[in-house]
Structure 1
Amino acid sequence: MADKLSAVKGMNDILPASVPRKETLPRNSTWLWFDEVVRRVMARYGYQYIVTPVVEPTQLFVRGLGEVTDIVEKEMYSFVDSMNGDALTLRPEATAGIVRAVVEHNALYNGPLRVWTAGPMFRHERPQKGRYRQFHQLDVEALGFAGPDVDVELILMGRALWHELGLVAGEHYRLEINTLGEPEERRAHRAALIEHLQKHEDQLDAEAKQRLHTNPLRILDTKNAAMQPVVEAAPKLIDFLGAPSRAHFDAVCNALEAAGQPYRVNPRLVRGMDYYNRTVFEWVTDHLGSQGTICGGGRYDGLIEQMGGKSAPAIGFGLGIERLLLLLEQIGLHGPDNAPAAYCVLAADDALPKAMPVIEELRRQGVAVVMHASGGSMKSQLKKADASGARWALIFGADELAQGAVTLKPLREAGGTQQQRPLADVAGWARELQSPA
């Protein structure tokens, strides 16, 4: 027997609910339910679906995310194409690829664009609950819009998504926002921040010392408890903002308040990519331990030009699907089990030729039907029908077929009465199967 092969560490299979799993992962029915909710919310807000490649030029992420970000320095899966020597990378996030596509295809020629996508991303992180090396992300982008109105729209879209999923504000999630201002404002703040941190360099950990002159803003996001006094005393970026940046942020705050959306201004909220400016935001939870962010994003007005396009503003957010689904399941929210409406029991030796047209007609009528396969006794088939979660068993036995009928046996109603229905009028009784027994 050949050796058994396993998946790459941190890259997981999403299996049917009936298959036992070694790891705690969201059930596949929750994935499908989430997908349906996302499509519904995106359509309401007028966002269109876009698909970009999983593999992109490495330089796209170096230029877009920043050469000294954790993702580029430590986490990307990069390789050289053996056919032509191109430097390629499995995408670690979606925004850079979407911007590349928009620039390459001149997609803003006819005006601003609202798009969304979902799919696998790859980062070489230490696998832990809800964080994997292959993970899936929902990504939403509004390109070509400069005003605070779209900032608010994207934030409230997140709220609409939480509502559709059954999450409760305050209990399951909360909103944190900040502003990063404009590049020249960040440069002034950066100089003051470095000066402050240098005065307390003996209290910085090794990672903070490494970032001191490359990406000091990320030091504010440290989880090291020993550094908190230094970080709390650091200069605040909001104190370096000019009038336009303040007005933009004030407009966002005012619109959120008018929409009844509570928020907390978190001056240490900086996000992990270099391309952000002005509004940044995160939806956070206390139900997933220290890694509490379930969705984050912000404005990146310089990225399109940085990628070679004509200067245009943009804003977006990304959502880690595995983490969100784990949150839903942890608090007892998950999608339907996707059980079929009916399970067909082929109890007569010659049942298949007469049952198959009925089964196919039921499916054409929109009824989810599972057909028993590979034989077995009536008793064993009914046992599998019950285990399937189906509401009805359709019994094609010798007596029924002799009468040109099928027996409908309710499986989820105690003391329910089984009934016969004619094979010649499937469309006439198909609707019965779509209602609970």
Structure 2
Amino acid sequence: MSKRLWDKGQELNKQVHAFTVGSDYLLDARLAAFDAAASAAHARMLLKIEILTVEECLRLIPILKEIYTESRAGSFTVPPELEDCHSAIEARLCEQLGDCGKKIHTGRSRNDQVLAALRLFMREQIVRHQEQLLDLAKVLMRRAEEAIGRPFPGYTHMRRAMPTSLATQLFSYAQYALSLIKDGLHLLEGINWNPLGVGAGFGVPLELDREMTGALLGFDAVQPNPIFVQSTRGREELKFLNWLVDSSTLTEKMAVDLMLFSTAEFGLAEMPVKFTTGSSIMPQKRNPDVLELLRAQASRQRAHRTELEGLVSKLPSSYHRDYQYTKEPLFRAAEQSAESLAVLCLLIEDIQFNREAAEAYFGPEIFSTHYAYELVSKGVPFRDAYTEAASAIEQGLIDVPKMMAKFLELESARNRLELKQIAELAVDIGTKVATCSESHCAALTKVFEG
């Protein structure tokens, strides 16, 4: 029977052991692929510094690749008695390779192993999340292009304010998504450094080539100070969750906007039936549950961040077992964010907007500011023009059809220019995201080759 890495033959209290392991053995099943890749890089480095022979390395790598493949397929499991993926992977290597497998832990601690696996996990999640945001932006851009020339009422303080267009409303969401992707690129730069090789957090008495393992795994740099490395556990995860929370503000904002626009009172949008649910008592109801849950998911993201902040606060330097609990909010946040973006993208593809209802909102009041600026263009001081516009509303002097035609002409021209600018930005950002994705996938593939 396989033993825990720290097992020295002493008897354990089963209840205490179950408490300390918690759900870590279940959570670690999804980290195993990344730990297997990091272990392959570590094995190649151990070969270079002559801890492993060529034959030993050639025996280790294929089994690590098997574990990687199993984890990706969801078939790799961690027995609760082995606690985590690091122990389960080493146990597999020892069972199949004997003394050769026992060498893989040389120069490592589970403390730096989990850091490396988590960095690779987050790197992948950031890229996948960026790809989803890019998909959302593209759908919004397409819907916005179709909507050029369609008026839409603008609101401040939840009250009708000024004329805008449906295209401008949709472009605003697309620009938000692209801005988040750019933030994600900076985040990638900030977390993409190699923690592997610092052991428990104080270095190891071997001449490890940390630059080599970092390069094999696609890290941009090596995280130097060993105590600092361990002190960043939770910090990098918090950066990631901060970004996911920021992303959730977009999904939340869109959900709330569409919820309002699609009410009978507003009548500006219509939810497809397949995105609604019924009532068990009111036959006429079609409820926007998808939008309500998207709004709620944003609150859950903030709760995950708060949980993580609480776990890593007030800790001394170096490693502490408290960090074990940081995985769960991290995984939940990543999973729920991906789900929200996927559903939102489907909804934007199908939601319909009511042009007639939008045009009905365009009375004299909504054009009052435009009327004032027409006076300004004729030399009237703005404050006087402001007062005259208010009087013009009362006296019925604002020619709505004329102002609507002029507004739509200018707005449509601006929207076409905006489309060109956003499309160019999307191509530029998309290229950068694709490069990051290719680099990440290549590193996780090539580390098992050769």
What's the TM-score bracket when you normalise by the shorter of the two chains?
under 0.3
Q: Point out the structure with the larger helix share.
A: 2
TM-score (norm 1): 0.23
